């Protein structure tokens, strides 16, 4: 920084010409960038392509899971903690929907739940739609696959709701409990759950589409009820509609979403549209339109000026 200011100072005094100053400043910027880059990308952190790629080669367990083309999650504890960064967890995140996520940074709400998963709480794994579990054989140290037939799927209707006073009680209520039949909810969510849960053996919710920002389902039930969705509750951007009409999303089972769903067949959609994105998108559109209009106006003015100049030349 001092060298740059010095060069500009002597340039201002007329003791250095602009070519020398320009080359010098460019060299300084280049040298500075190399120093910053080497903090993150250097010989110590370089990994050969072959070594890097081996983390993403499917194991026999992964190949077996891949035969299932449905939507589910995978819990991989074959290499220690399923939530710590390792070759096993990286591969699981790359090939499957990993229960541990794909990044060390997680929503605080979900991070709280990891303690229950760490205890081996199968009810929590079931409600998170954990259909496959990869463990390490204690005798051989090799991974083995354990399918979980109790996984609850992407969504289901419950026949009861247990209300508790606060989030702490809600967490404690997850062990033991049966998420298939009962949802646990904070009393503050009660206003969003307007229907009383009903026992309906024919009621079902079918996943239609699952994308990063749009998830759609079709529900079918003979009576009004409460549907629980195996998706993490996040109120800052996610909106839910039933047949195109917005409906409030309740938080149940500490981290999951729930909706009050009327009887009959309905199309349900979750869409991620944070207010900041919508406002920014509109501002970008307005600025884009204004920019185009300015360019068109500039082209029009330039054209008129060009025509007048040509007309004056022709008169001469």
Q: Across all residues in the chain, what is the average pLDDT?
A: 86
Task: Summarize pLDDT for 37-91 with one digit per residue, the tens.
Answer: 777 777 776 777 777 777 788 999 999 999 999 999 999 988 877 777 777 888 8
pLDDT for position 176 = 83
Among 61-75, 104-118, 257-271, which stretch is predicted with the lowest mean pLDDT? Answer: 104-118
pLDDT higher at 278 or 9: 278
Return the pLDDT at 315.
62
Q: If pLDDT is split at 50, 70 and 90, which confidence band does 104 have?
A: low
HEC string of the chain? CHHHHHHHHHHHCCCCCHHHHHHHHHHHHHHHHHHHHHHHCCCCCCCCHHHHHHHHCCCHHHHHHHCCCCCCEEEECCCCCCCCCCHHHHHHHHHCCECCCCCCCCCHHHHHHHHHHHCCCHHHHHHCCEEEEEEECCCCCCEEEEECCCCCCCEEEECEEEEECCHHHHHHCCCCCCCCCEEEEEHHHHHHCCCCCCCCCCCEEEEEEECCCEEEEEEEECCCEEEEEEEECCCCCEEEEECCEEECCEEECCCEEEEEECCEEEEEEEEECCHHHHHHHHHHHHHHHHHHHHHHHHHHHHHHHHHHHHHHHHHC
Residues 173-193 have a mean pLDDT of: 94
Domain segments of the chain as ranges: 2-40, 60-147, 155-273, 282-316
Model confidence band, residue 13 (pLDDT cutoffs 50, 70, 90): low
Give the mean model confidence (pLDDT) for residues 242-252: 97
Say what the pLDDT of residue 293 is.
84
What pTM was estimated for this model as a whole? 0.76
Query: Percent of the chain at pLDDT above 90?
Result: 49
The pLDDT value given to residue 101:
76
Q: Is the pLDDT of residue 229 over 80?
A: yes
């Amino acid at each position: 920084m001092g060298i740059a200011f010095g060069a500009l100072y002597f340039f201002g005094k007329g003791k250095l010409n602009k070519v020398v100053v320009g080359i010098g400043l460019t060299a300084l910027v280049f040298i500075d960038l190399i120093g910053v880059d080497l903090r993150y990308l250097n010989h110590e952190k370089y990994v050969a392509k072959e070594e890097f790629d081996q983390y993403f080669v499917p194991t026999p367990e992964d190949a077996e899971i891949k035969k299932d083309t449905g939507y589910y999650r995978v819990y991989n504890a074959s290499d220690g903690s399923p939530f710590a960064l390792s070759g096993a967890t990286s591969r699981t995140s790359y090939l499957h929907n990993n229960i541990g996520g794909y990044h060390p940074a997680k929503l605080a709400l979900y991070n709280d739940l990891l303690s229950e998963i760490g205890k081996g709480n199968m009810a929590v794994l079931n409600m998170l739609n954990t259909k496959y579990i990869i463990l390490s054989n204690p005798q051989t140290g090799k991974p083995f696959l354990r399918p979980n037939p109790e996984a609850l799927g992407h969504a289901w209707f419950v026949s009861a709701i247990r209300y508790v006073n606060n989030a702490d009680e809600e967490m404690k209520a997850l062990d033991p409990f049966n998420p298939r039949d009962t949802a646990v909810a904070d009393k503050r969510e009660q206003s969003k759950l307007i229907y009383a849960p009903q026992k309906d053996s024919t009621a079902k919710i079918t996943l239609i589409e699952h994308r990063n920002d749009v998830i759609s389902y079709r529900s079918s039930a003979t009576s009004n009820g409460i549907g629980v969705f195996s998706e993490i509750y996040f109120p800052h951007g996610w909106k839910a509609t039933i047949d195109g009409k917005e409906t409030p999303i309740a938080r149940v089972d500490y981290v999951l979403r729930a909706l009050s769903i009327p009887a009959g067949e309905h199309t349900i959609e979750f869409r991620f549209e944070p207010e900041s994105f919508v406002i920014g998108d509109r501002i970008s559109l307005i600025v884009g339109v204004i920019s185009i209009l300015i360019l068109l106006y500039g082209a029009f003015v330039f054209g008129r000026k060009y025509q007048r100049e040509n007309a004056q030349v022709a008169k001469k």
